[in-house]
Every structure is written in C-alpha cells, then in structure tokens.
Amino acid sequence: MMRTLLLPLVVSVVVMAAEAADLKATMEVVNNNANGFEGRFCFHLPQAIQGWELVIVFSSGVNNVGQWQGDWIEQHGSGECATHWTLVNKNYMGKQNAGDDLCVKVTGSVCGGGKPGGTATFVDLNDDHMHVPAAPKIAGAASMKYNYPDVLMKSILFYEAQRSGKLPHNNRITWRGDSALKDKGAGGEDLTGGWYDAGDNVKFNFPMAFSTTVLCWSLLEFPQAYSKTGQLDHMYDSIRWPLEYFIKCHTKPEEIYVQVGNGGLDHAQWTRPESMDQNRPAYKIDASSPGSDVSNEMAAAMACGSIAFKTKDPAFSRKLLTASKSVYAFAKKHQGIYSASVQDAAAYYQSSNYTDENNWGAAWLYKATNDNQYLADAKVRYAHEPAWGFSWDEKIAGNHLLMYSFTKDAAYKADIESTMTLWSKQGGMKYSPKCLAFRLQWGALRYSSNTAFFALMAAKQGIHAASYRQWAMCQINYALGDTGRSYVVGFGTNPPKRPHHRASSCPMMPIPCSWDAQQNPGPNPHTLYGSLVGGPGGSDDYTDSRIDYIHNEVACDYNAGFQGAVAALIQLAIDHELPNAAHCGQCPMP
C-alpha cells in the first residue's frame, strides 16, 4: 500500500532565485516503489505573500497525482499521463511570512514506471505586474506644490479598476478581469457594464450617475487639463463606460433598472468581482414604483455625455440625448423617491428628496439642447437656499452654478455666495486643526473635495475668483499631503495602503479570496491607484485600516468632485493663475 504522507516539512533543496516570483526547486523524492512515489518541492520565501501558484514539470508523464496544500487548476500531457501540472494554494495556505520555509508534498505514479523527477516554479501571485507611467510635465508645473497631472491620471485609473462586465482589450488594470457577465433584468435584459460602487461589488445607479455627471462636467469645463496631460482619450473612455450602461438600464419608456446586486448578500461576502456567485438581483423603477431622483440624475449624466461626445462620436451623442430626454420625460410624469420604491437601496443610498434632481435633470437638458422648456422646468423647480454639501444626494450647489451660467441672474449668484459662506467658519463650518473643512465623519474628504470643485467652478464664472480658488486649492492640497501624509492611494507621501476595497485586497486570480483578505494586517496586494479614501476625523486623526470603512473606504462619488477640482487646478497652472500654496497653512476662508 502507498504510505500515508504525514512527513514533516523539511527544506532540502537549493533556491535558485532571489525573488519569490522566480523561485525554482527540484523535487526531492522521499519514497518510490511499485505503488507510486512521494516527493516534495521546498522553497525559502524572501518576502511575505498572500497567495501562490506552483507550476510543476515532471520528467515523465505521471497520473494519480495528489497533494493537500492546493488545488490543481491545469494539466498538460498525453491522456491521463501529464507532464505539466499547475496548482494554486488552498485558502488557508496562501498567507506566508518572509523567511518562511514552504514545502509542497505530492504523490503520484510514473506512467510506464521508472524513476520520478521534476522541477517546480513558485509564482508569487502578489505581483500584478501593473506599472503606471509617469505623468507628462505641463506648462505651469513649477507653480504646483503637488503633481496634479499624476493625480488626474491615477484618478482615471481608479475608475477603470471599478469596471464591471466584459473588460476592453486595452484594460490597464492587470489584476482585474471580466466579471458579472450574467447581470440581467427580470426579462433577461443585458445589464452588464457600469461601475462597482465602492469597496463592494454592487452597482448603484444613483451615485454612479452623479459621479458620471460631475466627471463629464469637468471634461466640458477643463478640456485642456485632460489634453495637456495626455489623459483626454482615457477620460472619454472613462465616462463612456457608465454612459453605455445607463442606456442599457433604460429598458422601456417607463422602466429603468437602477441597481444590480443585493446589498446585504454582497456585503456578507468578501471576494473579488470575478469570483462572485452571480446571485445578483436587479431592481427597477417604473410608473407604479417611481424614482424621479435617480431618473433625473441619469438624464443629467446622459445629457452631459451628449455634449461631451458631440464631435468625438456624433452617433453616440445622439443616442445619449434621445435616452436622456426619454428618462427625463418618465421622471417628470412619475414623481417619487427611488429608495422608497427600491427598498434594498434605502440601507445604502437613501434619497432625501427629488426636487433638486428635478432641477438638475432639466438644467442639463437645457444645456444640451437649448430648449427653453427645459429651462422653464428648471426655474420652477429651483430652490433658493444654500447647499449643505454637493453630493450624490444633494444637487443644490450644482443647480446654483448651472442656473447662474445660463442667466447671470444676481439671485443665483447670491445663492452661490451663501453656500460658500455656509462653508466658512463664520457660517458655522467646523475646521480641523490642519484646516480641513469637516462636514461629516463618513467620507469627510468627499464633501470638502466636492465643494472645492464647486468653488473652482464659481471662480471660473468670475465670482470671488481669488478667494474661492485659494480655499479650494488648500482643501485639495490637504488631501494630497499638507498634513504630512497623502489620502490618495498610490500617490505622495505615506499614502493609504489598506483601502477598504474587496478587489484590490484579494491576491491574483485564481487564488481564493475570503474574509482572510479583509483581516490581513498587511497592505492590499494591489495598489488601487488614484482612489481617495474617506479621510480623517475632525481632529485630523486617521488610521490606515481596511476594517475601518468609515475612514478608509473608497467610492466612485468620492473621486468625482476631487478629480474635477484637480482638473481645474491643472487648468489654473496652465494659465499661470494658480494660488500660492504657502497660504494654506493659514486656513484661508472662502
């Protein structure tokens, strides 16, 4: 009978390379008889790893191969007698520390008899082989305290890392693959595509559409910032991804799918999108269960997209405008809060109102069409009040800007000023000791960055340009390193390395990924370049912890206004109008 393999793991082979990804070993034959052989491959690991793959090449074909530390995923050879075998670690065997000695035991039979032999290559699946090029230098770069072009480039990469569906041939995120290819509506409608919302794997249209609108708006307002930094084509690809998805979601004149994936089921797992079990229900709104807030936000995104693609892709532009008008008409006819219709959304993105989105959708369609009926609708729905904060749930500040740009009416200008006053110390805004305008504990940098974008857009329209630009730049510089650390993954000094993000925390496919990845105290195996984490507490306190989703989660809406503000600052640098960064330590007020 073949002996039971309960031998101790003993290092007995010479390591042939210095990096874990290149380790090679020759099989030590522990036992060989008529019943088969027992061998082992041993490696001394120079660095900590989260997952590994072993590629074994036997000198002769073998069968009945067995082992206990991994799962066979591939074999090549003649019939059942294969010479090339590949296994990937079992979940409990993936994590290894620097300096560990790892031996993998195998058993089997040599086809036709003879002495067994073989070599194995140990592949460290932490290495995703992703290399980010340096951002090009631009005119005015000397005036920038931080490398804004690099931030812009990496923020676009973040959105590429959030892609769902069939990835394009030019996918730049080496550790991402196709995912959620079975996302469908109740009638089998194709709902693949779009962005995963945050550190999870749900697609929520409300924040996704807001993010798309703001990003598209930044492209319309600051095209040179994208073109001069070599990011223009990437930016068009970036916003096109969700825009194409929104068109898919509008399945009937009075039917729109607004969420794919159940929040509770999704949050009960910790796994990469590529490994999801595909239990992803789709949720829709219709005439009997309306959602004029999410509908108008989608209409706004597609209207903005129609402007952005008007000359680049006229056919796509027309398609977007047609869809935008249709979605807007549905929203106007059937008013209601979408999170009351889609109960699963209420636990994550509960809408507080829809009147601001009514204004927002109408205003964007007026900008896209110059049809005065849309402007009339926008005026009727406009609220003369200061904005608490520009966000996925509140478009009041954006409405201020759009309506003033259309009319130059002093009343709209006064609303812009009242919003910025509300964000000053005199207006009651709390500021951290190091000058962050601290609106809310959860995603503090999101609110300050979105308002920075708002301030820069107001300044472009000639409203208190000097003070608004100074304040906005200081808020963005806070996120980039003014406190001594960056809050943008993969950028600057001491950036976050453990963002609360499933995909980037998982080792390379096909290594299994579970809650062990969330609990891993080390850095995420993949750098989620460009992602803005939620940020510090009100006292500038921050811990780089994956478990702390309040301060260390990332999300599509976190980066939207932030990226737009960075684009605006690049434009100011190009125009030699960038404020003096030295003044930020004085906590300038808007």
Tokens of 538: 């009100």
Two structure tokens written together for 568: 């605006």
Cα–Cα distances in angstroms (integers) from residue 153 to residues 133, 225, 234, in the given order: 9, 11, 9
Residues 293, 204: Cα–Cα separation, whole Å:
13
Q: Taking the CB of residue 20, how many other CB atoms lie within 10 A of it?
A: 24
Angle at 356 between CA 531 and CA 248, to 5 degrees: 60
Q: Which of 158, 137, 234, 143 is nearest to 569 (CA)?
A: 143
| Closest to 526 measured CA to CA, from 502, 557, 510, 550 | 502
Identify how many contiguous H helices and E strands the chain contains and give both numbers. Answer: 19, 13
Per DSSP, helices labelled H in 222-341 are 223-228, 232-249, 263-267, 292-308, 314-333, 338-341
**How far apart are the C-alpha atoms of 107 and 568, rounded to whole Å?**
63
Which residues sit opposite 37 in a β-bridge?
A: 32, 108
Q: Are 305 and 173 in contact (CB under 8 A)?
A: no
Tokens of 272: 């990469």
Q: Is it true that the peptide bond before 149 is cis, omega within 30 degrees of 0?
A: no
| Helix 148-161, helix 232-249: angle, nearest 10 | 30
Strand, coil or helix: 205: helix
Which are the catalytic amino acids? 500, 544, 553
Pair 189, 268: CB distance under 8 Å:
no
Q: Let me know: does 338 contact 258? Beta carbons within 8 Å.
A: yes
**CA-CA distance, 535 to 544, in Å (whole number)?**
10
Contacts of 346 (CB under 8 A, 6+ apart): 339, 340
- Secondary element (H or E) of residue 549: helix 549-552
Q: Are strands 118-124 and 23-26 parallel, antiparallel or unpaired?
A: antiparallel
Q: Which pair of tokens denotes residue 100?
A: 């560990």
Beta pairing class for 255-260 and 36-44: unpaired
Could you give the CA distance from residue 260 to residue 118 in angstroms, rounded to a whole number?
Answer: 48
